[in-house]
Structure 1
Amino acid sequence: MKLYFPKSHYNKDHRGLLFPLLKPFIKAEGFTDAQRIASYGVSEKDFEFTELLEEADLVVLTMAWNYYVQTNQIKKATDFVEHCKTLNKKVITFNAGDFGVKIPYFNNLIILRLSGYKSKFTENEYALPAFISDPLKKYYQTDSVFERPYLSKPVIGFCGQANASHFNAAKEVINTFLRNIKNLIMRSKEEPQQLLSTSFLRASVLKTLQESYDVETNFIIRKKYRAGVTTNKDSHKTTLEFYDNLRDSDYVVCVRGAGNFSVRFYETMAMGRIPIFINTDSSLPFDNLIEWKKKVVWVEHKERDQVAKKVKEFNDALSKEDFIDLQLANRKLWEERLTLSGFFKTLFNDQ
C-alpha cells in the first residue's frame, strides 16, 4: 500500500502532534534505518511512501486534527480532505490527547483516537493503542515473558494513582464540569467528558479487591500521577517499580485516566499479563478482529462492585496450561497488533 502525506503541513514546533506513523520517518538528515528500528521498531521497508497524491492508496493527514484547531488552520485540513475526496482518496487522521476535539464528518475520513466514548463513535472512528517502548527489552533485557504459574488465588497488581477522598472526587468532577461548560460556550474545542472522578473510581475498585478473600492484592498506591515525577521518567525508580509490579502480578487493574483510555492496559499486554478492564464506554483496537473478552477480565462499569467475582470466574475457567498460554498470547498480540508497526500493518491490510 502506497501512502502519501502533505509535507508542507509539517510543523516541527508541534512535533508532538505529528501523525504517529510519520514520527519514525520525518527525522533529521542522517537518521539511519537501524536507528529507526531501534527507536520505533519500524523499518523503512515496512511502509511505502509516494511523493504523488494521485499514486496513493491511502492519504495521511500529516498533523493531528488538534494541531489544525490550535493553529486556526481547520480550513486547511478540511480543504485538503475535500480535495482528496474529489480524487476518490481516503484520508486518515489522528485525534490526539486525553479529550480529543470535534472533527467534522467526511465519508472519506478515517479517524484514529486514544480517547472518546465508543457509543458516540461514528462508523469511521477507530481506537488507537497507546504506543510504548517494549518494557521487556528496555527494563529486563529480554524478549521472553516472565511466566507466572497458575494460582487458584491469583495475585492482582496495580501501581499508580488512586484517591478515595470524597473531597478530591468532588474537585475532579467540578473541574470536568467547568471544562464542559467551556466547550458549551465555545471557549474550548475539547470534547465534553463524563462527570466522573477517575482517581476515586480506581480507589473503589482497588478497595473491592482488597476486601475479597478470592484474590491476593499487590498494590502500590500513589498520591500523584507517576508519583509526581516529571523528568527522566523512563529511568526513574518509580517506573521500574511500576513494571516490577506488573511482572510480579497475574492480573492487573486497568481503569481509565483523565481521558477515557488506559495506557496501563497496553503496558500490561506488553508484559504478558492479563488486564482487568473496567469498561467505561471505551473502545479497544480491532474489536472486530480480537475477542477481547477472552484476553482480559471484562468488567462493565456498572458491575465494578463485582470485580473480584469476575476475576475469580475468569481464573477458575483456566487450566494451568491455559493460564501460561494466555500470558504468551497477550504478549504476542501486543507485538503483532498493538505496537506502532503491528497496528498500522494490521490497519492497512484491513482497508
Structure 2
Amino acid sequence: MKTVAPIKIYHAEPLDGTLFFVAQSSTYQPASLEDCELVLYHDLYKDAKQVGKFLKQISEKYKPLGKKVLIFVMLDDESDYGHFDNLILLRVSARASKLRDHEIILPYLWEGREEPYPLSPKSELPVIGFCGLLSKHRKKLVNVFLKSKQVSSDFLVRKKFWGGKPHDKSLINEFFDNIENTQFTLSNRGAGNFSMRFYQVLSCGRIPVLVNTNMLLPFSDKIAWNEILIFEDDAKTCLQRTLQIHEQGLTQELQLKCRQVYDDFLSPTVYFSQLIAEIKHRSLLQVHQTEKNKNSFSGLASHLYKKLFKA
C-alpha cells in the first residue's frame, strides 16, 4: 500500500488495549487537543443502552472546537444512530442500505492468525467447515450444504456462543482446527449484521462462504470481494458458487488471495493506515462551519482549549 502520512491524534485518556493497532501504527502521531487533526475516543464503545446519549454528548463536547471525533463502536446493534456532523463512526454491525455518510464498517481485528495455514490439499469434493452456534441466520446455509452430496461437510454445532465458554482453550483449538482442515468455512452473520468468523477465516488463508444480508464489507471500493470469496444473495447460490470454484481448480488460488487481502487491509499492522487513507479520501476530516460562526469560533476555541477535556 502507499505510505499514509502520519495524522495528529488527541485522546484524553490512554488508549485501551483493544485499540492496540492504533498505537502501533506509523500513521498515529499523538498531539495536543489544540494541535490535533482528529480526536479519538480512547476505548471500544460497547454499551447498547446508552449509545445514542453517548454519541450526542461527545458530539456536543467537541463541536465548538471544530474537531472531528473518531469512535469505534463494537455492538451487534443495527440501529440508525442519527447524523452527527463532527463524528466518524466505525461500527461492526450495520445495514448497507442505511449506513450514513459519516459511518464506516469496522472489521473484526481481534483473534486473527499472524500466519496463515498451509494451503489445503486438493480433494475429490470441496471440503466445507463450520464450528459454532447454529443461530437463525446460519441454519439455512448450514442445512443446504449439509444436505448436498456434492460436498464434504465437517460441522461442529454448539448450543451456545463459543460453547458457553469463550475462553476455553480446547474449544478455541477445535474452532481453528476446523478452519485449518477444511477449504471453505461457512461464515454467515450472528446476532449482529457482521461475522467475526469471516475475518478469522481470511486470516487463516481459507475461503469464507456467506449470504449477503444487506451487508457492506470493508474497503469495498478497493477490494473485489466477489472475486475472492463466496458472498451471494442466498444459500443455494453459495453452494453453486462453491462447486464452481472447486470444479475450476481455483480453491488454492483463492485461499492465497484471501490471506493477501487480510495482509494488505485487515491485519492489525496495516488496518489503521488503511482507515485513515479512506477517511481522507472521503474528506471526512473536513469540518463545515457557517460564515456566521467563523468569527466567534476562534475566541471560543481558545477559551475551551485551556480546559481539561476528556473524550
The answer to whether the superposition gives a TM-score over 0.5 is yes
Alignment match, 2:8: 3
Report whether the alignment pairs 1:253 with 2:177: no
Report whether the alignment pairs 1:314 with 2:292: no
CA RMSD of aligned residues (A): 2.7
Alignment match, 1:326: 254
Contact 2:229 2:254 in 1 (8 A): no
Contact 2:9 2:39 in 1 (8 A): yes
- The counterpart of 1:145, out of the listed 96, 102, 117, is 117
Contact 1:145 1:327 in 2 (8 A): no
Alignment match, 2:126: 154
Superposition map of 1:6-85 within 5 A:
6-7=11-12, 22-24=15-17, 40=20, 44=24, 46-63=26-43, 70=50, 74-85=55-66
Alignment match, 1:263: 196
46 and 150 in structure 1: CA distance in 2 versus 1, 3 angstrom threshold: same
| 1: CA distance, partners of 2:235 / 2:182 | 20
Contact 2:79 2:94 in 1 (8 A): no
| 1:49 counterpart letter in structure 2 | Q
| 1: CA distance, partners of 2:132 / 2:144 | 16
| 1: CA distance, partners of 2:48 / 2:205 | 38
336 and 245 in structure 1: CA distance in 2 versus 1, 3 angstrom threshold: same
Cα distance, 1:243 vs structure 2: 0.4
Alignment match, 2:283: none
Superposition map of 1:178-257 within 5 A:
199-230=135-166, 232-233=167-168, 235=169, 237-257=170-190
TM-score, normalized by length of structure 1? 0.69
Contact 1:92 1:111 in 2 (8 A): yes
Contact 2:25 2:269 in 1 (8 A): no
Alignment match, 1:97: 75
Contact 2:209 2:229 in 1 (8 A): yes
Contact 1:148 1:250 in 2 (8 A): yes
Cα distance, 1:310 vs structure 2: 2.3
- List gaps (5 residues or longer) in structure 2: 1-5, 281-311
| 1:204 counterpart letter in structure 2 | K
106 and 3 in structure 1: CA distance in 2 versus 1, 3 angstrom threshold: same
Alignment match, 1:182: none
Question: For residues 129-160 of structure 1, what are the alpha-carbon distances to aligned partners after superposition, in whole Å with 9 as ceiling and x for unaligned?
Answer: 1122343x5xxxxx353211333521010011
Local SS of the residue matching 2:136:
helix
275 and 66 in structure 1: CA distance in 2 versus 1, 3 angstrom threshold: closer
| 2: CA distance, partners of 1:267 / 1:68 | 24
Contact 2:129 2:182 in 1 (8 A): yes
Greater relative contact order, per chain length (Cα 8 Å cut-off, separation 6+): 2
58 and 341 in structure 1: CA distance in 2 versus 1, 3 angstrom threshold: farther
Contact 1:208 1:307 in 2 (8 A): no
Cα distance, 1:307 vs structure 2: 3.0
Alignment match, 1:274: 207
| 2: CA distance, partners of 1:68 / 1:158 | 29
Contact 1:272 1:331 in 2 (8 A): yes
| 2: CA distance, partners of 1:74 / 1:68 | 11
| Higher mean C-alpha deviation, range 60-69 or range 107-116 | 60-69
| 1: CA distance, partners of 2:45 / 2:76 | 14
Local SS of the residue matching 1:255:
coil
Local SS of the residue matching 1:268:
helix
Alignment match, 1:115: 93
TM-score, normalized by length of structure 2? 0.78
| 2: CA distance, partners of 1:340 / 1:218 | 30
What percentage of residue pairs aligned between the two structures are identical? 27
Aligned residue-pair number: 273
| 1:124 counterpart letter in structure 2 | H
Contact 1:66 1:100 in 2 (8 A): no
| 1:4 counterpart letter in structure 2 | I
Contact 2:201 2:207 in 1 (8 A): yes
Higher helix fraction (1 or 2): 1
| 2: CA distance, partners of 1:246 / 1:68 | 31
- List gaps (5 residues or longer) in structure 1: 11-21, 27-39, 138-142, 163-198
